[in-house]
Structure 1
């Protein structure tokens, strides 16, 4: 897949399984994450971002 501003490369993996994403969803995720990171000191010119999210242990709540 070629990377352009209109077609960002976004991969969403949930519990080890990749989820298919429509182009609109890829664009929304990319714009949101790049916007948030771009507002951070040192993140202004980010070209690649890796983000992993994990829920805390529900038993510990």
Structure 2
């Protein structure tokens, strides 16, 4: 529905989720429920920032 801006926000959300999970695996040795909750919050925030800043 949102075209390029929607696709971009999804890509940014996925990339941010992968980054947070990679950091958690390296520093904590795995992924816990708290990490998954943080992934949800970080990826949603990143997607909303893309939507807000798109011209």
Asked if TM exceeds 0.5, the reply is: no
TM-score (norm 2): 0.39
Higher helix fraction (1 or 2): 2
Higher Cα Rg, which structure: 1
TM-score (norm 1): 0.36
